[in-house]
Amino acid sequence: MARALIFLADGHEEVEMLTEVDMLRRVNISIDMISITGDLCVTGSHGIKIMADKLISDLSDEDYDEAEMLILPGGMPGTLNLRDCEELSKRIMEFNEKGKYLAAVCAAPTVFGGLGLLQGKNATCFPGMEDGLTGANKLTDKVVTDGNIITSRGMGTCIEFAGEIIANLADRKTSDEIKKKIVYNI
């Protein structure tokens, strides 16, 4: 079974986090919600408290070895908090070096840009955050996949973003089937 890790920081965009978790779990892709805050209870950008599955400090090398994808939701100041987490940055770099999947939505693709991972790649993000896509060919598509990196624009594109994640971790048919089941674009 495919496995992903999604990282939660105080100030994350709740819909961007929960849509991915919900859709991946609907198709039996394992996804753990990981708090970078030192507390399992993480408060989103709209004051909604989410209980993470694990703390980043409790993850082992084996947890990362078993995961095929790291996912970053956007939101402010959540994106800045993700950017400033040294352990997360280290793991993002390791995933990229191994060619494992990295996915980010809204402002969070700027974390990848800040780490130099978007050089020469196509990417998208929340309108107005494009300067943070350092070195990228900046697109306005809802979802952009370039190699091992998947980026998306914001809360309104999260179903398509989750669908693209599923297509990469499972297959396109599974992605299309779940979107049909949730009555998306039919």
Q: Are 147 and 133 in contact (CB under 8 A)?
A: no
Q: Are 75 and 107 in contact (CB under 8 A)?
A: yes
125 catalytic per annotation: no
CA distance 150 to 158: 12
Query: Exactly one of 41, 85, 106, 125 is catalytic; which is it?
Result: 106
Q: Torsions phi, psi of 71, nearest 5? A: -125, 135
- Give the Cβ contact number of residue 120 at 10 Å: 8
Using the structure block, give the residue that is written with the tokens 């300067």.
Answer: 131
Q: What is the residue type of 33?
A: M
Catalytic residues: 106
